C-alpha cells in the first residue's frame, strides 16, 4: 500500500505541475472583436498589399494576413467574405450635405421635365397655394427634352406657387414667373454682379439665373431647426450605403455647425465621419468661430476655411483664360474682385489656417496659385496642406510646377467628366475640352491629388470609373492621356483624401493601429473590366469595425 500511495502522490504531483505550465502557444488565442476572412483585403498601404484576413479590436485594425490569423485570434464576430473584395472606406474630401426642408423636392433622379412637373404638382398639392417650393439636382444633360427647364415649365405645374429649383452643382437655378415677380426681377433688371439673368432671343427673362440665384432664393422662408436636423441625419446616413465613411462638407455656415454637433452627440448614431469647411464671408463673419477652427474629434471636426474664387461650368461662370465657345468675349467671373480675393487668401494664410479654395476655370486657378505661392514665399508655413477644390481646367505647366514646389494640393472630381460632359462640349473646345478635370498631368508634376464627388453624383464608383476610362455619359473618351490606374483612383478616394485632412496616420488605409473603416464590394475592383466599375455594389460598410450598412 505504501508503494501504491507513493506512486499515486507522484502522479498527482506531476499532473498538478503540468497544469501549472503554460499551454502550447498554438492553444492560446488573442481576444478580438471582429475577423473578416476568406476574401481579398486591399490594404492601400504603400505597397498596395493584398491579404485574405483582417482582425479588428476597439474600432481599429489589429493585424492583416492569411487564414492562419483565425488560429491566432478568438473574435466575438467572425465573418466569411466569401471571396469578396474589401477596401478602406471611401473618403469624399469635397461634397455638400445638408438637411432638406419640407418644401424641398429631390430632382437628382428625374429624366424629363415632365417628371419634374409631376413632382412640383405633388408638392404644391401637399403645401397649398402660395407656399414656396424648392429643389435641387436637375441637369439638362439627363433630360429627354434635351434642354433646360424654363419658367413656363414651372408655371404650368404650379401656377399658384413660387418655385426655385437649383441645378445639379449649385451654380444656377430655374425659377417660376411668380418667384421672379416676388423678387422684382423683370426684363429690364440688370445682371447682378458676378451672375447672369438669362434671357431669350427677345430679351425676356427665361427663368434661369446663374451664380446669383440667391436674388430669388433669399425670399424663401426659413425652415425649422427640427426638420433640417432630422433630414441631415437621413442624408448623412445614406452615404454609408455608398461606401462613404468620411466626408468633408465644403460649405457649412458657422451658424449651422451647432446642428452638426447636436447630431453627432446622439448616442449610437450611425454616420460617416465628417469635417466641415466654414465659408469665408468677411473677417467679422468668421471671427465668432475662428478660435474653433481645428476643433473636434475623429467623428466631427472643423476643417479648412472655404474660399470661392470663381463660378462653375453649369452656368457657365468659371473664370477662363480664353472666351467660352461661341459666346463672344465671355470668360466667366471671379466670385469677387481680384484684389479682394488676394486679400482674403493672404489674411487666411497669415492666420495660420488651412484653405480649400474653389477654383474651376484655368484663369482662376492660375490667379489662386500665384497668390498662394506669393503668400508662402512671404510667410513660409510648413505642411500647410492648402488645396484647390475642383481644378476643372488644366492650367499651364508652369502653374503646376509652382503648385508642386509650394505643396499646393488638389481635390479633383473626375465624375464631372462623366456627368458634365454636355456642359464641357457646349462651352469648351480643342485641347482644353480634352483635358477637362486633369488627373495624370498634375500627378506627374508631383502634386498630391485626392478624388471627391461634389455630389455630381456622390457615388464614388462614378468618379473611379471616369478617372480610369476618361469617358463621358455618351461613351466619348476625353484626353486619354489624363487617365490614371485603378490603384491610383482607389488611393485618391481613400488615403489621399485622409492626407488632405491631416488624418493619414489614423485612416485612409487598412494598417495596424488605424481606424477600421472598411467597405465590402460585390466584385473585385482591381481586376474587373473598367466598363463594369459602376455596376459594382456596396455589400457592407464598417465604421470603426461596426457594421453600419448591409445590402
Counting Cα atoms < 13 Å in the Cβ hemisphere of 424 gives 28
| Average pLDDT of the chain to the nearest whole number | 92
Segment 210-239, tens digit of pLDDT: 988 899 999 999 888 999 999 999 999 999
Please give the average per-residue pLDDT across 48-61, as a whole number.
98
Distance, CA of 551 to CA of 538 (rounded, Å)? 7
Q: What is the DSSP letter of 242?
A: G
* 85 C-beta neighbours (distance < 10 Å), count: 22
Distance, CA of 253 to CA of 172 (rounded, Å)? 20
383: which 3 cell numbers? 505642411
Distance, CA of 473 to CA of 32 (rounded, Å)? 46
Segment 107-160, tens digit of pLDDT: 988 999 999 999 999 999 999 999 999 999 898 988 999 999 999 999 999 999
Domains of the chain, CATH where assigned: 102-217 (3.10.310.70), 309-484 (3.20.20.140)
**3-state SS track over 127-149:** HCCCCCEEEEEECHHHCCCCCCC
- pLDDT band for position 456 (50/70/90)? confident
Q: Which residues of 195-225 are buried (b: 16+ CB within 10 A; e: fewer)?
A: bbbbeeeeeebbbbbbbbbebbbeebeebee
Model pLDDT, residue 14: 38
* pLDDT above 70 (res 23): no
Distance, CA of 452 to CA of 306 (rounded, Å)? 16
Any long-range contacts for 102-105 (C-beta under 8 Å, 24+ apart)? Answer: 102/127, 102/223, 102/227, 103/127, 103/131, 103/132, 103/133, 103/134, 103/220, 103/223, 104/134, 104/135, 104/136, 105/133, 105/134, 105/135, 105/165
Pairwise pLDDT comparison (455 vs 380), residue with the higher score: 380
Distance, CA of 78 to CA of 98 (rounded, Å)? 36
Percentage, residues of the chain above pLDDT 90: 81
- pLDDT band for position 66 (50/70/90)? very high
375: which 3 cell numbers? 503668400
CB 252 within 8 A of CB 276: yes
Residue in the structure block whose three cell numbers are 414651372: 154
| Least confidently predicted of 8-22, 36-50, 473-487 | 8-22
Please give the average per-residue pLDDT across 270-291, as a whole number.
74
DSSP letters, 399-427, are HHHHHHHHT-EEEE-THHHHHTHHHHHHH
* pLDDT above 70 (res 17): no
* pLDDT above 70 (res 397): yes
* pLDDT above 90 (res 53): yes
223: which 3 cell numbers? 425652415
CB 152 within 8 A of CB 179: no
| C-alpha pair distances (Å), 506 with each of 93, 324, 516, 517 | 15, 44, 9, 10
Q: What is the pTM of this model?
A: 0.87
Residue in the structure block whose three cell numbers are 485612409: 508
Segment 372-388, tens digit of pLDDT: 999 999 999 999 999 99
Is the omega angle on the peptide bond into residue 457 within 30 degrees of 0, that is, cis?
yes
360: which 3 cell numbers? 474651376
Percentage, residues of the chain above pLDDT 70: 93
Model pLDDT, residue 10: 39
CB 419 within 8 A of CB 168: yes
Distance, CA of 82 to CA of 88 (rounded, Å)? 18
Kindly give the residue spans of alpha helices, DSSP state H, lying in 275-420.
283-287, 338-350, 362-378, 397-406, 415-419
Sign of the dihedral defined by the CA atoms of residues 144, 150, 152, 155, in that order: positive
Please give the average per-residue pLDDT across 503-518, as a whole number.
98
Model pLDDT, residue 141: 87
191: which 3 cell numbers? 445682371
Amino acid at each position: 500500500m505504501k508503494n501504491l500511495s507513493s506512486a499515486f502522490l507522484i502522479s498527482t504531483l506531476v499532473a498538478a505541475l503540468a497544469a501549472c505550465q503554460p499551454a502550447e502557444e498554438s492553444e492560446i488565442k488573442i481576444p478580438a472583436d471582429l475577423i473578416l476572412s476568406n476574401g481579398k483585403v486591399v490594404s492601400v498601404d504603400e505597397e498596395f498589399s493584398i491579404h485574405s484576413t483582417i482582425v479588428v479590436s476597439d474600432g481599429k485594425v489589429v493585424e492583416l494576413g492569411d487564414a492562419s490569423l483565425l488560429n491566432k485570434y478568438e473574435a466575438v464576430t467572425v465573418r466569411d467574405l466569401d471571396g469578396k473584395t474589401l477596401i478602406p472606406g471611401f473618403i469624399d474630401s469635397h461634397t455638400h450635405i445638408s438637411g432638406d426642408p419640407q418644401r424641398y423636392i429631390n430632382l437628382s433622379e428625374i429624366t424629363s421635365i415632365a417628371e419634374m412637373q409631376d413632382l412640383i404638382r405633388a408638392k404644391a398639392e401637399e403645401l397649398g397655394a402660395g407656399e414656396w417650393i424648392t429643389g435641387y439636382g436637375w441637369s439638362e444633360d439627363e433630360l429627354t427634352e434635351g434642354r433646360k427647364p424654363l419658367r413656363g415649365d414651372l408655371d404650368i405645374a404650379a401656377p399658384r406657387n413660387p418655385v426655385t429649383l437649383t441645378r445639379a452643382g449649385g451654380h444656377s437655378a430655374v425659377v417660376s414667373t411668380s418667384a421672379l415677380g416676388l423678387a422684382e426681377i423683370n426684363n429690364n433688371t440688370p445682371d447682378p454682379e458676378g451672375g447672369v439673368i438669362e434671357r431669350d432671343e427677345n430679351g425676356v427673362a427665361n427663368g434661369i439665373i446663374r451664380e446669383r440665384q440667391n436674388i430669388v432664393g433669399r425670399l424663401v422662408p426659413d425652415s425649422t431647426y427640427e426638420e433640417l436636423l432630422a433630414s441631415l441625419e437621413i442624408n448623412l446616413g445614406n452615404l454609408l450605403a455608398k461606401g462613404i465613411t468620411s466626408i468633408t462638407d465644403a460649405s457649412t455656415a458657422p451658424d449651422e455647425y451647432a446642428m452638426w454637433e447636436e447630431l453627432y452627440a446622439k448616442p449610437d448614431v450611425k454616420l460617416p465621419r465628417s469635417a466641415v469647411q466654414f465659408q469665408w464671408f468677411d473677417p467679422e463673419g468668421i471671427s465668432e468661430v475662428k478660435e474653433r477652427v481645428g476643433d473636434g474629434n475623429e467623428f466631427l471636426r472643423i476643417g479648412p476655411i472655404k474660399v470661392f474664387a470663381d463660378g462653375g461650368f453649369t452656368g457657365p461662370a468659371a473664370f477662363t483664360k480664353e472666351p467660352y465657345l461661341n459666346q463672344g468675349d465671355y470668360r466667366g467671373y471671379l466670385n469677387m474682385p481680384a484684389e479682394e480675393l488676394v486679400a482674403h487668401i493672404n489674411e487666411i494664410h497669415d492666420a495660420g489656417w488651412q484653405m480649400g479654395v474653389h477654383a474651376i476655370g484655368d484663369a482662376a486657378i492660375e490667379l489662386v496659385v500665384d497668390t498662394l505661392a506669393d503668400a508662402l514665399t512671404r510667410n513660409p508655413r510648413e505642411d500647410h496642406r492648402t488645396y484647390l477644390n475642383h481644378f476643372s481646367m488644366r492650367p499651364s505647366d508652369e502653374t503646376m510646377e509652382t503648385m508642386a514646389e509650394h505643396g499646393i494640393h488638389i481635390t479633383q472630381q473626375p465624375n464631372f467628366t462623366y456627368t458634365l460632359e454636355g456642359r464641357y462640349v457646349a462651352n469648351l473646345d480643342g485641347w482644353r475640352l480634352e483635358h477637362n478635370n486633369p488627373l495624370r498631368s498634375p500627378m506627374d508634376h508631383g502634386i498630391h491629388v485626392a478624388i471627391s464627388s461634389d455630389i455630381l453624383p456622390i457615388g464614388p464608383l462614378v468618379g473611379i470609373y471616369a478617372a480610369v476610362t476618361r469617358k463621358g455619359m455618351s461613351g466619348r473618351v476625353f484626353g486619354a492621356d489624363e487617365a490614371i490606374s485603378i490603384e491610383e483612383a482607389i488611393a485618391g478616394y481613400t488615403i489621399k483624401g485622409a492626407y488632405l485632412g491631416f488624418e493619414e496616420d489614423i485612416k485612409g488605409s487598412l494598417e495596424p493601429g488605424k481606424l477600421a473603416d472598411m467597405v465590402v464590394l460585390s466584385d473585385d475592383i482591381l481586376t474587373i473590366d473598367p466598363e463594369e466599375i459602376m455596376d459594382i455594389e456596396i455589400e457592407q460598410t464598417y465604421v470603426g469595425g461596426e457594421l453600419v450598412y448591409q445590402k
